[in-house]
Amino acid sequence: MLQSNSTALPRAEAIARLNDQLRKTGTGGSVMITQNLKHVTGFNVPTLMKALAEYGGFDADNDPHGERDFGDLVLWGYDLIWKIDYYDKDLKFGSDDPADPNVTHRVLTVMLASDW
């Protein structure tokens, strides 16, 4: 049986590592892109995924809990924001334990900052 990350690491770091996996590799959850972002001139998925993977702008303002679940960046001349939310495996309710990938489905949503 695999040991849960939540028992081996501090909770925030366990969550952060799972969030990093989704952000950096696109695995371990779903990546959603808003319609307005898709219609930006020059938009392409590989550029977006590369920018998310390389994102390192975490600080006390955008990451107060150390979970690396929110960020902002500029691409194609637009301010973008991204956020990771935690759902149960059926995507009906919030996850009871975001540190446990066995009960959590992560959803990374990227949008224009003006859509927020």
The 10s digit of each residue's pLDDT in 46-71 is 999 999 999 999 999 999 999 999 99
Average pLDDT, the chain: 93
State residue 8's pLDDT score. 67
28: which 2 tokens?
Answer: 């371990």
Residue 107 pLDDT grade (very low, low, confident, very high; cuts 50, 70, 90):
very high
> For the chain, what is the radius of gyration of the CA atoms?
15
Domain interval for residue 84: 5-115
The total of other beta-carbon atoms located within 10 Å of residue 98's CB is: 23
The 10s digit of each residue's pLDDT in 1-24 is 344 444 567 999 999 999 999 999
The beta strand positions in the chain, using DSSP E, are 29-33, 70-75, 78-87, 105-112
Tally of structural domains, the chain: 1
